[in-house]
Amino acid sequence: MKRLKPIQSANDIPKEFQDTPVARLFEYHNFKAPHKVYNGAELLVGMCMDNRKTLSLPENFAFILRAGGANLRYSEFKVSFAVAVGGVEYIALMGHTQCGMVNLMSKKDQFIDGLCQRAGWDKKDAEEHFSNYAPMFEIVNEVDFILSESKRLSQRYPKVKVAPLMYKVEDNLIYWIEDEGN
């Protein structure tokens, strides 16, 4: 997690994202700025479905898409809708520490047993379900995944600015992910 840059003031935000909806996301969440009134979304936040993350944002400020690991590959039509119809020009792609999608294969037995016990699934069906979908959703490393998904979204939507972010469950703050490759 060495690549996580704390955002403690507006000056810590990368220059290309200062005075943008991404900067306002930091102002509202990290700096506890008073909420303004918005008539429409200025930002799309793509984040994990994890229940430990709650953002402090004003109403109508952002579209929020939640998907395991902040993996928006299978929510791309919704991303397109937010851009084309919603008019957003910025995406905040936000992973988080302690993500359950990391090393998903190690949770195979728990997943299968949980579906059998809590959902009434047959063990064979639960095993097949896991085997079919886990490879699509497993993340090796939260930081690397968010960087690669941010690059993919930037290529797919070249006029939209994508910010790679990480929510630290340990302190409930949002950090910038620095790409050492650039």
Residue 74 identity = Y
Domain of residue 39 covers 4-101+140-177
pLDDT, tens digit, 9 for 90 and up, residues 61-98: 999 999 999 999 999 999 999 999 999 999 999 999 99
CA 20/CA 6 separation, integer angstroms = 18
Indicate whether 182 belongs to any domain: no
Residues 95 and 41 in one domain: yes
How many domains does the chain contain in total?
A: 2
Residues 43 and 97 in one domain: yes
The pTM of the full predicted model, rounded to 2 decimals, is 0.93
pLDDT, tens digit, 9 for 90 and up, residues 144-156: 999 999 999 999 9
Indicate whether 153 belongs to any domain: yes
Give the whole-number percent of the chain exceeding pLDDT 70: 98
* pLDDT computed for residue 86 by the predictor: 97
Query: Token pair for residue 108?
Result: 């195979």
Residues 47 and 66 in one domain: yes
pLDDT, tens digit, 9 for 90 and up, residues 162-174: 999 999 999 999 9
Q: Where are the beta strands (DSSP E) in 15-76?
A: 43-47, 62-66
